[in-house]
């Protein structure tokens, strides 16, 4: 059908779509066999395939191989030979068949640096030739033995490293490459995020991305000069995720800004985790020695929190100081316990007998996990101004609050306004 397209076809999506549809049939056959890759390799090896062009063109494709790991991959191939134009083109035409040196399904997100946008620059003649070539290519594709596919893949990988050829060729190649054939594999799902990423990366690419997308297709594009087989695509995605996590860890672990390299970073992380664990161990030992005294003053501390007049309404408790009513306190029993626990030592020696009543009230109140947002937002709404340290322990509590929470929550809380 597409072959029937006669005259010069402007580089347009229509052409691409039509071509793709035409190709789908025979492609489907080959995909099912999963020997897809093998097929074209032979073809290409024999030729000077400007694989680079293809790769540049963003051959992306996740082969929906049945055994593809990522079910989300979809195969998109670019077929587009334009043999009429140059000697190298015939090869391209063949390439399109198999081009899918696509990664099969491993959730790859490629970033296509170039793209399809190039097609727009193709002269009409190219398109016409492309049509013809396409016909030929398809025939070739079917005729090509599957065996050669693997070789082609290798060659493509090699070619990817070849220095860029001249621009005209590439432009033409890109036009050809733009056409993408959708291949349905057993495990194809649609991943649209990659496409969006790609579009962000390359302005050119967007234009030529085929709009005809079945819901279960995923377009993945390879970067320029990079291998596009499914394995390396998946690898690349995985590596990107890992490096993203490493960056996060780098922010977390102090003193890692200057360290480059994964091994060094991991070293630092190891050291940091060990030191933290040792600190916890040490602090726990200290706490154990202090522990017998802990229960002395908890009553006192509990009591203090109950006093509305007390400015213990206290940021540590996570409540706005201006809140005088008791109900919020009851909601924040855990926090109250925090205060009491932390301030236990402070409360030492402060006999506040009247606190017993308040204490019992507190204890009997249901314990509920305080609302994090409330805690955080109020904590930071100027605890310092609102606290009037009328008692020495209040000052300590305030300090405690600052120490305990500022460090730990500063980043997240301030940003969180739930």
Partner 1 sequence: MEPWKIMQPSFAAKYVGYLVPALNNIGKQASPSVDRCIDTEKIVRYEINMALALSAEGFAWSHALKHKLRPNVDNHNHAGKSQSYLAHDDDHRNTIPVNHEPAAKKLKVDPKRSETEAAEEEEERLTYLRKLIPGGSGEMMVDDEILLSELGSYVSCLELQVNVLRSMLQFN
Let me know how long the chain is.
418
**Pair of tokens at residue 418:** 């739930």
| Shortest distance in whole angstroms from residue 367 CB to partner 1 | 7
Q: Which is nearer to partner 1, 23 or 304 (CB)?
A: 304
Asked if residues 223 and 110 have their Cβ atoms less than 8 Å apart, the reply is yes
| Shortest distance in whole angstroms from residue 198 CB to partner 1 | 21
Intra-chain end-to-end CA distance of the chain, in Å: 57
**Pair of tokens at residue 237:** 């995605």
Q: Which is nearer to partner 1, 148 or 376 (CB)?
A: 376
355-364 vs 298-306: helix axis angle to the nearest 10?
90
DSSP letters for 347-381: HTT---TTHHHHHHHHHHSPP-PPPHHHHHHHHTS
Residue 63, exposed/middle/buried by CB under 10 A (0-12, 13-18, 19+)?
Answer: buried
Q: Which is nearer to partner 1, 321 or 347 (CB)?
A: 347
| Shortest distance in whole angstroms from residue 243 CB to partner 1 | 10
Q: Which is nearer to partner 1, 176 or 305 (CB)?
A: 305
Asked if residues 61 and 106 have their Cβ atoms less than 8 Å apart, the reply is no
| Shortest distance in whole angstroms from residue 196 CB to partner 1 | 19
Q: Which is nearer to partner 1, 164 or 252 (CB)?
A: 252
By three-state DSSP, how is residue 63 classified?
A: strand
Asked if residues 298 and 345 have their Cβ atoms less than 8 Å apart, the reply is no
Q: Which is nearer to partner 1, 203 or 384 (CB)?
A: 384
Q: Which is nearer to partner 1, 168 or 381 (CB)?
A: 381
Q: Which is nearer to partner 1, 18 or 337 (CB)?
A: 337
DSSP letters for 142-182: HHS-TTHHHHHHHHHHHHHTSPP--HHHHHHHHHHHH-EEE
| Shortest distance in whole angstroms from residue 349 CB to partner 1 | 12
Q: Which residues contact 341 (CB under 8 A, 6 or more apart)?
A: 294, 298, 301
CA distance 176 to 101: 16
Q: Which residues pair with 78 in a beta bridge?
A: 180
For the stretch 104-129, what's the b/e string if a residue is b when 16 or more beta carbons lie within 10 angstroms of its beta carbon? bbbbbbbbbbbbbbbbbebeeebbbb
| Shortest distance in whole angstroms from residue 383 CB to partner 1 | 15
| Shortest distance in whole angstroms from residue 88 CB to partner 1 | 33
| Shortest distance in whole angstroms from residue 162 CB to partner 1 | 22
Q: What is the DSSP letter of 11?
A: S
Q: Which is nearer to partner 1, 48 or 282 (CB)?
A: 282
| Shortest distance in whole angstroms from residue 378 CB to partner 1 | 11
CA distance 174 to 80: 8
Q: Which is nearer to partner 1, 310 or 409 (CB)?
A: 409
| Shortest distance in whole angstroms from residue 181 CB to partner 1 | 31
Sign of CA dihedral 352, 356, 358, 362: positive
| Ramachandran bin of 330, using left for φ above 0, alpha for ψ from -120 to 50, beta for the remaining angles | alpha
Place of tokens 């709009």: 211
CA distance 174 to 79: 10
């Amino acid at each position: 059908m597409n072959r029937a397209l006669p005259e010069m076809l402007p580089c347009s999506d229509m052409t691409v779509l039509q071509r793709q549809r035409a190709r789908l049939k025979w492609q489907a056959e080959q995909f099912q066999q999963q020997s897809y890759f093998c097929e074209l390799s032979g073809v290409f090896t024999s030729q000077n395939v400007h694989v680079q062009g293809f790769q540049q063109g963003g051959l992306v494709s996740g082969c929906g191989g049945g055994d593809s790991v990522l079910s989300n991959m979809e195969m998109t191939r670019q077929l587009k030979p334009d043999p009429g134009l140059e000697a190298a083109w015939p090869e391209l035409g063949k390439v399109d068949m198999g081009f899918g040196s696509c990664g099969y399904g491993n959730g790859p997100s490629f970033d296509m640096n170039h793209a399809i946008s190039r097609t727009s620059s193709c002269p009409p003649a190219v398109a016409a030739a492309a049509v013809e070539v396409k016909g030929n290519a398809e025939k070739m594709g079917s005729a090509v033995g599957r065996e050669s596919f693997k070789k082609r893949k290798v060659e493509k990988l090699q070619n990817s490293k070849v220095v860029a050829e001249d621009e005209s060729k590439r432009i033409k190649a890109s036009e050809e490459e733009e056409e993408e054939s959708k291949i349905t594999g057993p495990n194809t799902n649609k991943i649209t995020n990659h496409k969006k990423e790609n579009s962000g990366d390359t302005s050119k690419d967007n234009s030529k991305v085929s709009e005809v997308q079945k819901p279960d297709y995923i377009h993945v594009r390879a970067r320029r000069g990079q291998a596009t087989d499914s394995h390396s695509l998946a690898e690349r995605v995985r590596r990107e995720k890992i490096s993203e996590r490493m960056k996060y860890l780098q922010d977390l672990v102090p003193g890692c800004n200057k360290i480059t390299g994964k091994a060094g970073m991991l070293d630092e992380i190891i050291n940091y985790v060990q030191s933290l664990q040792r600190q916890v161990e040490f602090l726990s030992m200290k706490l154990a020695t202090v522990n017998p005294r802990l229960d002395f003053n908890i009553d006192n501390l509990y009591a203090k929190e109950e006093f509305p007049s007390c400015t213990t309404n206290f940021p540590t408790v996570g409540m706005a100081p201006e809140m005088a009513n008791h109900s919020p306190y009851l909601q924040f029993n855990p926090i109250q316990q925090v205060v009491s626990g932390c301030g236990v030592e402070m409360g030492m020696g402060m006999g506040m007998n009247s606190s017993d009543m308040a204490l019992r009230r507190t204890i009997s109140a249901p314990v509920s996990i305080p609302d994090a947002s409330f805690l955080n937002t109020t904590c930071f709404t100027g605890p310092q101004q609102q606290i009037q340290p009328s008692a020495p322990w209040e000052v300590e509590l305030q300090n405690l609050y600052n120490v305990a929470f500022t460090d730990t929550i500063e980043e997240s809380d301030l940003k969180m306004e739930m």
